[in-house]
A = this chain, B = another copy of it.
Amino acid sequence: MKTKTQDVSTSPAEAGIGTRERVVRAASRLFQRQGYEGTGIKLIAQEAGATLGSVYHFFPGGKEELAVAAIQYGDREFADMLSAGLAGSDDPADAVENCARVLATALRESDWADGCPVTATALETLGRTPPIQQACSEALRNWQEVLAVKFRDSGFGDEDAEELACTVLSALEGAEVSSQVFRSEEPLLTTGRSMAQLIRARS
């Protein structure tokens, strides 16, 4: 018999965390790495150290409801990563370049597996699963706002800040995909440097 109310077979870092939270985290990472369609619910349950019954207990809406929760979790996680990277410097150009470095390092350390937590799922479900698409949309909007705040705080006007945030987010997202495909930090680092130059050119 297994231990009751808690499974020890999960990673040590996640001991003591509630089942629902473990399921969401496992789902987020798996969707990030192998997409929505490519990830089975049984695998998610297994990775979370939970059973199928528990998953459907917490997410009666099934895979779709679980995906929305996973995207929202990835949203917060990635926003924290951006904030941490941006906090590295007061100068917005340096901050963005540092941000790219942070993303590149995290990507390499995960053996190029953990890129943006929503891109894969977003592209697979575009126009076919409205709740998921909306969660992805809110995530992108959220990250863009994190960047825009930094630019406004650095003295940029509202419009400039918004445009820069849109450009920088797109560039970082695209560079992350390139880095994953090429298995190299170079696209992210190069893009980070270019974005820093663009920001200085607008100051």
Contact = CB atoms under 8 A, between A and B. Distances in A.
Interface residues of A, number: 50
Nearest to A175: B170
A110 B178 CA distance: 25
A136 interface: yes
Number of copies: 2
A126 to B, nearest CB: 6
A174 B170 contact: yes
A100 to B, nearest CB: 10
B178 A128 contact: no
A37 to B, nearest CB: 4
A127 interface: yes
B173 A178 contact: yes
Given A37-B37, A174-B174, 6 more contacts: A33-B126, A35-B120, A123-B177, A133-B181, A167-B175, A197-B198
